[in-house]
Chains A and B, each alone.
Chain A
C-alpha cells in the first residue's frame, strides 16, 4: 500500500545550525508533498508544500527539495532557532489525491 518513510525520528542541533529531514514515498502518482509542524499539545500546521512540477521551493529559512525519480523529498531549515523545536511531519497525497499519508514524524530539538 501507500507508504511514507521519514528519517530521522529525532534530531538535535545547535541553535544557528541547519537541520535536514528526509522522506521517501511509494506511490509514483503522488504529486503533492506538504510538511507540517506540530508543537507540543497543538494542532499540526502547514509550514511549506511542494508540487511534483517543481524541484525546489523556499520560504525564508525553510526549503523543500523533491526528487521525483528517486521518490524522495527533504525539508531544510537554516539558522535554526529555539522556536523551531517541534515535531515535523512530511506527507504525500495518494489515491487520486484524495488521501494524505504522513510520515512518522521527526522530533527536532534546538539546543541554545
Chain B
C-alpha cells in the first residue's frame, strides 16, 4: 500500500458524460500528479499540482481539468467523454521535487474508466 488513495476504483459511463476522479496523497506529500494509461500504453503525464498550484501540464485535453484543494486532495474532471478516454487514470504523490532533482512518486491504485 503506497498510502495514496483513489476513488472510485471503477467507473462506467456513456459518451458525452462528465466524471470526477478523486485522489488523496500520502500524508505529508504536497505534490500530486495525474497520469493516463491506455490499454498496453505507457504512462502519459497529464498535470502536476503542488500545494494547490498548477506546476506543470502535459498533453491534457481541454475537456479535462484538475484542481488541488486546501486539504491537498485532488480531483480530475473529465467532460464530454469520448470512447478514446477509456483508460486507467493514476494519481501519484511526492514531496516537492524542487529544482535539483526529482523525488519518488508513489502511485495510487488507479481508477479504471470505461466509456461506452
Contacts and interface: CB of A to CB of B under 8 A. Distances in A.
Tell me whether A and B are bound partners: yes
B102 A101 contact: no
Contacts, number: 66
Interface string A70-102: 000000000000000000010101011111111
A98 B56 contact: yes
B104 interface: yes
Contacts of A52: 101
Given A43-B90, A103-B42, A97 B107 contact: no
Interface band, chain A? 20 to 34
A31 B101 contact: yes
Interface band, chain B? 20 to 34
A96 to B, nearest CB: 6
Contacts of B2: 43, 45
A96 B101 contact: no
